[in-house]
């Protein structure tokens, strides 16, 4: 066993609440870390209920989750919590819309993310992986690198290239900072939204970043208009595919504002989440050197001539995929989502009333003792036989009709980047600088993921 073998200990986790909290204490905790309001018992029981202004229920029972996310979808629309945060940036796009307005957009966008289209975009992911490896090499062996920042750069490269690429008028860096600032700032005031205060209450994000957002929207609209005039011959990216897309049922096509809202949605929903999967995967590999060695051996065997991983390689890298699956279990980027009950129902024998908030705490679900052996332990072999994983006990991408539309895009990108980096570097942790999982809008490693990258 080597110095960094941690297979007997556990990677970092969030301390969950063990006693009932008062309102002020809860508010304070939410402000710091949304996950910390999950009671410890949510990892031991199928449902936990409480009341704070509104009645709420945290559900970690697979059957009840199936009911909320699949069978009774219309009874449980997405709650205003996330919508209020995101609406100023992404309007009534696929992520936010409900009912008929959601359905036609989903029908229009689904073919854009077909297996063939996603595979066609793999060269963009490979190019980003190559650039990331070159940046790491430039750092040298002895410098601590914040791999979260590095993965944010790599995944933004990808999402910018598949949305608004090839047009000089789109200032990528400016767009990146606007989106980052917006999410960071909006998240700070998410407390208001947790309590579902009305949307007209002014929040700092909307005032501070209103101008930046407006400019970004204007730039995006110009790129879309330009692309409308000439597109063709090259491999179609997400904008080309959306421009050609139409609702198979009604033949409706998206107008410029709808295209822009959905493309910005892909950036907001897709880039940080994928960077998080990669950062947590790298943290876990550095945490457990035996796992890292196995993943490295696999990557080096497939990429034997030192080349970058491609879309076709993904199927040949099953252990790399298992590491990512396990990272998504321990640190699901969407650590919890919530729904508003609009009709009377029953979940795990408990009455749900219209107006109740139903919280789907994926973080606690993935660490529930009724569903997982040694839930806090890092063990990618859990995913060796995927059929052994019960469908509604593992939900990093949600499930049912509103399942993440970018899941296979994200997984392909994560495998390509992780395999390329592991085939070229060995990652080691910096003592005393473990990341702290903090849930704002997504489950982030506070303080960053600081590692050394030594060429192999």
Tokens coding 114: 């077909």
Rounded Cα distance between 125 and 155, Å, is 8
Q: Under a CB-based contact definition with an 8 Å cutoff, are residues 130 and 308 in contact? A: yes
Binding residue for ligand HEM, selected from 39, 62, 333, 335, defined by CB under 6 A? 333
- Does 365 engage in binding with ligand HEM (CB under 6 A)? no
- Does 95 engage in binding with ligand HEM (CB under 6 A)? yes
Question: Shortest Cβ distance from residue 265 to ligand HEM (Å)?
Answer: 5
Binding residue for ligand HEM, selected from 35, 68, 347, 405, defined by CB under 6 A? 405
Give the binding range for ligand HEM (CB under 6 A) out of 21-29, 310-318, 348-356, 399-407. 399-407
* Residue nearer to ligand HEM on the CB measure, 87 or 106: 106
- Does 398 engage in binding with ligand HEM (CB under 6 A)? yes
Ramachandran quadrant class, 336 (left: phi over 0; alpha: psi -120 to 50; beta: rest) = beta
Query: In the structure, how many helices (H) and strands (E) does the chain have?
Result: 17, 11
- Does 122 engage in binding with ligand HEM (CB under 6 A)? no
Using CB atoms within 10 A of its CB, is residue 394 exposed (0-12), middle (13-18) or buried (19+)?
A: buried
Question: Shortest Cβ distance from residue 208 to ligand HEM (Å)?
Answer: 26
Rounded Cα distance between 401 and 119, Å, is 23
- Does 117 engage in binding with ligand HEM (CB under 6 A)? no
Binding residue for ligand HEM, selected from 16, 242, 334, 415, defined by CB under 6 A? 334
CB atoms within 10 A of CB 46: 20
- Does 277 engage in binding with ligand HEM (CB under 6 A)? yes
132: nearest Cα among 328, 424, 331: 424
Give the binding range for ligand HEM (CB under 6 A) out of 57-65, 211-219, 404-412, 422-430. 404-412
Rounded Cα distance between 319 and 300, Å, is 12
Give the binding range for ligand HEM (CB under 6 A) out of 178-186, 271-279, 288-296, 423-431. 271-279
Question: Shortest Cβ distance from residue 3 to ligand HEM (Å)?
Answer: 31
- Does 131 engage in binding with ligand HEM (CB under 6 A)? no
Rounded Cα distance between 196 and 129, Å, is 40
Interface with ligand HEM: number of residues (CB under 6 A): 23
Through-space distance between the first and last CA atoms of the chain, rounded to whole angstroms: 19
Binding residue for ligand HEM, selected from 273, 289, 296, 368, defined by CB under 6 A? 273
SS3 for 388-447 is: HCCHHHCCCCCCHHHCCCCHHHHHHHHHHHHHHHHHHEEEEECCCCCCEEEECCCEEEEC
Sign (positive or negative) of CA dihedral 233, 236, 237, 238: positive
Binding residue for ligand HEM, selected from 72, 78, 188, 377, defined by CB under 6 A? 78
- Does 357 engage in binding with ligand HEM (CB under 6 A)? no
Rounded Cα distance between 118 and 342, Å, is 36
Site string for ligand HEM, 241-270 (x = CB under 6 A): ------------------------xx--xx
Question: Shortest Cβ distance from residue 159 to ligand HEM (Å)?
Answer: 7
| C-alpha to C-alpha distances, 283 to 24, 334, 371, 452, nearest whole angstrom | 34, 18, 24, 11
- Does 94 engage in binding with ligand HEM (CB under 6 A)? yes
176: nearest Cα among 264, 86, 259, 260: 264
* Residue nearer to ligand HEM on the CB measure, 275 or 426: 275
Which residue ranges make up the site for ligand HEM (CB under 6 A)?
78, 94-95, 106, 265-266, 269-270, 273-274, 277, 333-334, 337, 396-398, 402, 404-406, 409-410
């Amino acid at each position: 066993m080597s110095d960094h073998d941690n297979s007997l200990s556990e990677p970092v986790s969030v301390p969950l609440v063990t006693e009932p909290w008062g309102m002020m204490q809860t508010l304070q905790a939410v402000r710091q870390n949304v996950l910390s309001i999950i009671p410890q018992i949510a990892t031991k029981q199928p449902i936990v209920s409480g009341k704070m202004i509104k009645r709420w229920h945290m559900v970690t029972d697979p059957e009840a989750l199936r009911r909320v996310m699949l069978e009774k979808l219309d009874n449980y629309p997405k709650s205003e919590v996330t919508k209020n945060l995101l609406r100023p940036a992404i309007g009534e796009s696929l992520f936010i819309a409900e009912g008929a307005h959601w359905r036609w957009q989903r029908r229009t966008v689904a073919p854009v993310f077909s297996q063939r289209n996603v595979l066609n975009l793999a060269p963009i992911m490979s190019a980003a992986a190559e650039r990331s490896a070159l940046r790491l090499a430039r750092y040298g062996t002895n410098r601590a690198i914040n791999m979260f920042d590095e993965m944010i750069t790599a995944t933004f490269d990808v999402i910018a290239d598949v949305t608004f690429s090839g047009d000089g008028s789109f200032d990528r860096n400016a767009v990146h900072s606007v989106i980052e600032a917006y999410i960071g700032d909006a998240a700070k005031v998410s407390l208001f939204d947790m309590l579902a205060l009305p949307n007209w209450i002014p929040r700092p994000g909307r005032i501070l970043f209103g101008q930046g957002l407006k400019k970004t929207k204007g730039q995006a609209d110009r790129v879309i208009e330009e692309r409308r005039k000439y597109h063709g011959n090259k491999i179609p990216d997400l904008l080309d595919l959306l421009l050609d897309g139409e609702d198979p049922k009604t033949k409706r096509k998206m107008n410029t504002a709808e295209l822009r809202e959905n493309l910005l949605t892909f950036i907001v929903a897709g880039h940080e989440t994928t960077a998080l999967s990669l950062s947590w995967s790298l943290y876990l590999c550095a945490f457990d050197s035996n796992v890292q060695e196995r993943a490295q051996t696999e990557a080096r065997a497939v990429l034997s001539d030192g080349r970058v991983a491609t879309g076709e390689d993904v199927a040949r890298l099953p252990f790399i995929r298992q590491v990512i699956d396990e990272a998504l279990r321990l640190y699901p980027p969407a650590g919890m989502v919530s729904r508003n009950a609009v009709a009377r129902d029953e979940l795990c024998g408990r009455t749900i009333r219209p107006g109740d908030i139903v919280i789907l705490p994926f973080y606690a679900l993935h660490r529930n003792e009724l569903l997982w052996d040694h839930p806090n332990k890092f063990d990618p072999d859990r995913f060796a036989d995927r059929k052994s994983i019960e469908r509604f006990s593992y939900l990093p991408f949600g499930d049912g009709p509103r399942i993440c539309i970018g899941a296979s895009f994200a997984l392909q990108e994560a495998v390509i980047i992780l395999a390329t980096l592991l085939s070229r570097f060995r990652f080691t942790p910096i003592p005393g600088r473990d990341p702290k999982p903090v849930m704002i809008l997504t489950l982030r490693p506070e303080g960053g993921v600081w590692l050394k990258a030594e060429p192999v």
